[in-house]
Amino acid sequence: MEPFTVSVNISMPREQVFEYLADIANHAEFTDHYLVDWRLTRVETYGEGAGARFRMKAPLNRFAWADMTIAELQPPFKIVERGRGGKFNRVKMMGTYEILEPHPGISRVQYTYETDAHVLSDLIAENLGGRAWTKGKARKALKRLRAILEEDRMRGRRPSVAAR
The domain tally of the chain equals: 1
CATH (domain of 79): 3.30.530.20
Q: Note down the domain range covering 60.
A: 4-151
63 confidence band (pLDDT: 50, 70, 90): confident
Q: Is the confidence at residue 163, as pLDDT, over 60?
A: no
Each residue of 4-48: pLDDT tens digit? Answer: 999 999 999 999 999 999 999 999 999 999 999 999 999 999 999
Q: Is the confidence at residue 164, as pLDDT, over 60?
A: no
pTM of the model: 0.90
Task: Report pLDDT for 2.
Answer: 86
Task: Report pLDDT for 127.
Answer: 65
Nearest alpha carbon to residue 67 among 58, 75, 55, 80: 55
| Mean pLDDT across 133-144 | 95
Q: Is residue 162 part of a domain?
A: no
Rounded to an integer, what distance in angstroms lies between the CA atom of residue 91 and that of residue 115?
7
Q: Is residue 157 part of a domain?
A: no
Each residue of 90-134: pLDDT tens digit? Answer: 889 999 999 999 999 999 999 999 998 777 766 666 666 678 889
Q: Is residue 135 part of a domain?
A: yes
